[in-house]
């Protein structure tokens, strides 16, 4: 029999603060947040975001974190929740890692939102993937010296900063031993609201999420229930732009309403020709790797548009990255 408790039971057991108690806590955190931001080494995009936070301490930061090896359902939830958060004026923060973190950053930008990555190394030591996120418009901020390399202890430290900066935190997917658990537990210890997806105990990649439910996190049962929770937490939680239809990441996406120009010659026939994607970038991709610049030109897209699209297609399994070359066509 399921042991997931109702909202009223969770509040009673964990002595969740009432609305009147939560409001002052968030207001008091703003001064501590400003002091914390002074310790960051930031790229120009992140510095602009930090200046905006300093100018307007009422800006809310929602952290979305999870596994590097994300399940498709987890990526779908990440997309939907990021969409809602951006509509409500939140700035998204995460750790810039592959998987859930990257999905949250990219989706925030696709919704014309703002996204800040707190990274586990110095700005001069970022890898190619973080460089790509920066080119898309994700701000990179580091609590370490510019030349500090990534080490085993820098990531837990990074996670601590994420927990301290955010107003609320969502753990999409966490195994029993993961950095996401450290982030969530630190946020809970600070009295912040934490949500996570409940799953069957046999799904090992979500066992950490189940532990969080026992420790005081709130279950994510639906997007509607999460909106209700946020309205309880923040009195002025209102839609700031028209609600969009959420797309299922397990299905091919239609990013452009009108297909861009493609080569008159079709790409090489694959062994699975019946499985196709509507993306112009995927349509011009070949079984042999091509540079992103070549793909962008063939699809009549700007480099930035192509980079954003390629990142999404890679997450969905429709493009395969080839180190030193670019991307080749793939079939999930």
Residue bearing the bigger pLDDT, 198 or 250 = 198
Structural domains in the chain, CATH included, are 24-233 (3.40.50.450), 252-332 (1.10.10)
Q: Report pLDDT for 10.
A: 44
Residue bearing the bigger pLDDT, 224 or 48 = 48
CA–CA dist 104, 64 (Å, integer): 7
Residue bearing the bigger pLDDT, 146 or 30 = 146
DSSP state, 256? -
189's tokens:
């210890």
Average pLDDT score over residue span 282-304 = 84
169-194 pLDDT tens trace: 999 988 777 788 889 889 989 889 89
Beta bridge partners of 64: 170
Average pLDDT score over residue span 118-143 = 92
28, pLDDT greater than 60: no
Q: What is the b/e burial string over 258-284, where b = at least 16 CB atoms within 10 angstroms of the residue's CB?
A: eebeeeeeebeeeeeeeeebebbbbbb
Q: How far is CA 234 from the centre of its chain?
A: 21
DSSP letter string, 100-141 = HHHHHHHHHHHTT--EEEE-SS-GGG--HHHHHHHHHT-EEE
Q: Report pLDDT for 257.
A: 36
256's tokens:
């452009």
pLDDT tier, 255 (very low <50, low <70, confident <90, very high otherwise): very low
Residues contacting 175, CB < 8 A, separation 6+: 67, 204, 205, 206, 207, 208
Lowest mean pLDDT, pick from 104-113, 233-242, 250-259: 250-259
Report the chain's mean pLDDT, rounded to a whole number.
Answer: 77
Residue 108 to residues 93, 152, 305, Cα–Cα distance (Å) = 10, 28, 14
| Contact in structure between 284 and 295 (CB atoms under 8 Å) | yes
Average pLDDT score over residue span 291-300 = 84
Q: Report pLDDT for 212.
A: 85
Average pLDDT score over residue span 181-208 = 82
Average pLDDT score over residue span 315-322 = 82
Residue bearing the bigger pLDDT, 249 or 45 = 45
CA–CA dist 291, 326 (Å, integer): 4
Residue bearing the bigger pLDDT, 17 or 297 = 297
Residue bearing the bigger pLDDT, 245 or 118 = 118
Q: Report pLDDT for 88.
A: 87
CA–CA dist 271, 275 (Å, integer): 10
Backbone angles phi, psi at 308, to 5 degrees: -65, -45
Q: How many CB atoms lie within 10 A of CB 51?
A: 12
260, pLDDT greater than 60: no
Residue bearing the bigger pLDDT, 48 or 251 = 48
Q: Report pLDDT for 318.
A: 85
pLDDT tier, 202 (very low <50, low <70, confident <90, very high otherwise): low
132, pLDDT greater than 90: no
Average pLDDT score over residue span 139-161 = 92
214-248 pLDDT tens trace: 888 888 888 887 888 877 776 656 544 333 333 33
| Contact in structure between 115 and 136 (CB atoms under 8 Å) | no
- pLDDT above 70 covers a percentage of the chain that reads 76
Q: Report pLDDT for 19.
A: 36
Residues contacting 128, CB < 8 A, separation 6+: none
């Amino acid at each position: 029999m399921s042991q997931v408790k109702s909202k009223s039971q969770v509040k009673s057991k964990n002595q969740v603060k009432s609305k009147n108690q939560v409001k002052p806590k968030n207001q008091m955190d703003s001064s501590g947040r400003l002091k914390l931001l002074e310790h960051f080494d930031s790229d120009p995009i992140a510095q602009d975001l930090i200046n905006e936070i300093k100018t307007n301490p009422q800006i809310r930061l929602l952290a979305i974190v999870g596994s590097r090896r994300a399940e498709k359902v987890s990526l779908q939830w990440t997309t939907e929740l990021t969409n809602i958060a951006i509509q409500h004026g939140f700035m998204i923060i995460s750790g810039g890692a592959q998987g859930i973190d990257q999905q949250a950053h990219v989706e925030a930008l696709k919704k014309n939102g703002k996204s800040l990555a707190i990274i586990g190394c110095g700005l001069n030591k970022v890898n190619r993937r973080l460089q790509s996120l920066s080119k898309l418009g994700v701000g990179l901020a580091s609590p370490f010296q510019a030349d500090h390399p990534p080490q085993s202890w820098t990531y837990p430290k990074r996670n601590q900063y994420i927990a301290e900066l955010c107003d609320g935190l969502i753990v999409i997917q966490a195994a029993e031993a993961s950095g996401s658990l450290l982030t969530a537990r630190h946020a809970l210890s600070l009295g912040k609201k934490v949500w996570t997806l409940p799953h069957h105990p046999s799904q090992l990649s979500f066992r950490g999420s189940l532990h969080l439910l026992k420790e005081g996190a709130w279950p994510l049962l639906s997007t509607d229930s999460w909106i209700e929770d946020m309205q309880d937490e923040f009195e002025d939680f209102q839609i700031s732009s028209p609600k969009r239809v959420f797309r299922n990441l397990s299905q091919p996406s239609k990013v452009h309403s009108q297909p861009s120009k493609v080569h008159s010659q079709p790409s090489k026939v694959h062994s699975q020709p019946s499985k196709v994607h509507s993306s112009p970038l995927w349509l011009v991709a070949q079984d042999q790797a091509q540079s992103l610049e070549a793909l962008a030109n063939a699809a009549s897209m700007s480099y930035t548009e192509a980079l954003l699209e390629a990142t999404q297609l890679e997450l969905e399994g429709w493009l395969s990255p080839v180190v030193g070359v670019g991307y080749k066509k793939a079939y999930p």
